[in-house]
C-alpha cells in the first residue's frame, strides 16, 4: 500500500474543539494522485512508486520523452511528480492505481516534505540568529559577524562557517505532525502546525517512518 500523497498548500486556519481548545492547522489539498511508475530492486535498485498529481488543468505542453513515459503507464500526463518508497512485499500496488486522501486517518502522524520560502541574500543576524554587538557606548560593531577563523593556522575559512548568503529555498522535512482532520469528499487534509513553503506550494505527505 502506498503511504504517501502529493498535496498543495492552501493556507492556515484554526480548528476549535468542543472544550474550546484552539488548534492551528495547515489546510492541504491532497491528491487525487495516480501511480505512474513502479520501481523495484531488480530494475532500479530500490522499491518505490512514482506518483503524479491529477489537477484540474492538465499540462499544456509536454515533450516526446515525457509523453512516452505517460503513454507507457496508460494514464494522462501530470505536471507534478514525486516518488514514495514502498515495501518490497507490496504486490497490491500497480501502475494506474489511484491514491486518495483516505489513506490517512485522524490522529495519524505524518512527515511533510517541501521547499522553504526563499528569502534572497540575508546577513548573519537574519540568516543564523547571531546576537550582534553593542548598540551604545561608541561601539562600531553592530551587525557584523566577528571572527571567521584564525590567521596563522589554518589561514583559511573553514567550510560550513556561518556567514551571510542565500537564505531559504531549501528542501525541508517536518516530522511527526498530527493529522487533525480528513475531508475525503474535497480531498482536504488538516495538519497540526505549519509546514514549509508559501501558499500554493506543492508538498509530499507521507506516514512517518520515525
Number of domains making up the chain = 2
Are 98 and 54 in a shared domain? yes
Q: What is the pLDDT of residue 75?
A: 84
Are 8 and 42 in a shared domain? yes
Are 139 and 153 in a shared domain? yes
Sequence-distant (≥ 6) Cβ neighbours of residue 124 within 8 angstroms: 130, 143, 144, 145, 162, 163, 164
The CATH number of the domain holding residue 56 is: 2.40.30.10
Are 60 and 160 in a shared domain? no
Are 12 and 84 in a shared domain? yes
Nearest to 166, CA basis, from 198, 128, 121 = 121
Q: What is the pLDDT of residue 70?
A: 86
Are 150 and 50 in a shared domain? no
Are 97 and 142 in a shared domain? no
User: Which pLDDT tens digits describe the chain residue by residue (210 residues)?
Assistant: 788 899 999 999 998 988 889 999 999 998 799 988 888 888 888 888 899 888 888 888 888 998 898 888 888 888 989 988 888 777 777 888 888 888 888 888 999 999 999 999 999 899 999 888 899 999 988 888 888 888 888 889 999 999 999 999 999 999 999 999 888 889 899 999 999 999 999 999 998 877
Q: What is the pLDDT of residue 87?
A: 81
Are 16 and 80 in a shared domain? yes
Is-above-0.85 flag for pTM? no
Are 156 and 176 in a shared domain? no
Cα-Cα-Cα-Cα torsion 185, 186, 192, 193, nearest 10 degrees, comes to: 180
Domain interval for residue 70: 4-118+172-207
Amino acid at each position: 500500500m502506498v503511504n504517501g500523497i502529493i498535496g498543495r498548500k492552501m493556507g492556515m486556519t484554526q480548528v476549535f474543539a468542543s472544550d474550546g481548545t484552539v488548534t492551528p492547522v495547515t489546510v492541504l489539498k491532497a491528491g487525487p494522485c495516480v501511480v505512474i511508475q513502479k520501481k523495484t530492486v531488480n530494475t532500479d535498485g530500490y522499491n518505490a512508486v512514482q506518483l503524479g498529481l491529477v489537477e484540474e488543468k492538465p499540462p499544456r505542453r509536454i515533450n516526446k520523452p515525457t509523453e512516452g513515459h505517460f503513454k507507457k503507464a496508460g494514464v494522462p500526463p501530470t505536471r507534478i511528480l514525486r516518488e514514495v518508497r514502498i515495501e518490497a512485499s507490496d504486490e497490491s500496488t500497480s501502475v494506474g492505481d489511484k491514491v486518495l486522501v483516505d489513506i490517512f486517518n485522524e490522529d495519524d502522524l505524518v512527515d511533510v516534505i517541501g521547499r522553504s520560502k526563499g528569502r534572497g541574500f540575508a546577513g548573519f543576524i537574519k540568516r543564523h540568529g547571531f546576537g550582534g554587538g553593542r548598540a551604545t557606548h561608541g561601539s562600531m560593531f553592530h551587525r557584523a559577524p566577528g571572527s571567521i577563523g584564525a590567521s596563522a593556522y589554518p589561514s583559511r575559512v573553514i567550510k560550513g562557517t556561518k556567514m551571510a548568503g542565500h537564505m531559504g529555498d531549501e528542501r525541508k522535512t517536518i516530522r511527526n505532525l498530527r493529522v487533525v482532520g480528513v475531508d475525503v469528499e474535497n480531498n482536504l487534509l488538516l495538519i497540526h502546525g505549519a509546514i514549509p513553503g508559501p501558499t500554493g506550494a506543492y508538498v509530499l505527505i507521507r506516514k512517518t517512518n520515525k
